[in-house]
Structure 1
């Protein structure tokens, strides 16, 4: 999710110990855990409310499905699959190497 490796995590922990001190670090970690649980609860409530408002046909809706990157990726892959299935129309051919596409002065 955050794409943090072991090295980055170690540096973050070292900075946290230096800034907060070893005596306040457990208290801060507990606060961070409560915050994450609260945010997860808010996300769950929002997902359930969306499902209820959209109706039974969206009962399998997940919040990650609403990510714009996933939506674009899904539509592009669907369009590519349809394009592969479409037959080539009569009279159309690929351009030869160096051949310019036709130009219509009336269309511009």
Structure 2
């Protein structure tokens, strides 16, 4: 989810220590934890409300399917081999890429 390395994590910790101080840092961390829990609860509640609002026809609906990246992966990359071959242009069936035309782009 977050691509934070060890050095970046230590830098963030040092900045938090400088900003909040050693006596206020535990209180700030607890408050951030509470806010994150509340946000997660709100998001889960919104998902459940959406599923209930859609009705029983969409009981298998996944909110992540609304993400464009996930949509493309689900509908184009996770297809069976037969479907992939059927959608592939004839020029790519032999494993070669079609010629590049700079005027066409």
Q: Same fold (TM over 0.5)?
A: yes
Cα offset for 1:83?
3.9
Cα offset for 1:81?
5.2
Indicate whether 1:4 and 2:4 are aligned: yes
Quote the RMSD (CA, aligned, Å). Answer: 2.7
Counterparts of 1:55-66 in structure 2, within 5 Å, are: 55-66=55-66
Matched length:
90
Counterparts of 1:63-74 in structure 2, within 5 Å, are: 63-74=63-74
1:82 match: 83
Cα offset for 1:10?
1.4
Bigger mean CA offset, 68-77 vs 26-35? 68-77
Q: Which has the higher contact order (CA 8 A, sep 6+)?
A: 1
Higher normalized helix content (fraction of residues): 2
TM-score (norm 2): 0.69
Q: Decide which structure has the larger Cα Rg and report it.
A: 1
Runs of 4+ in 1 over 4 A off after TM superposition: none
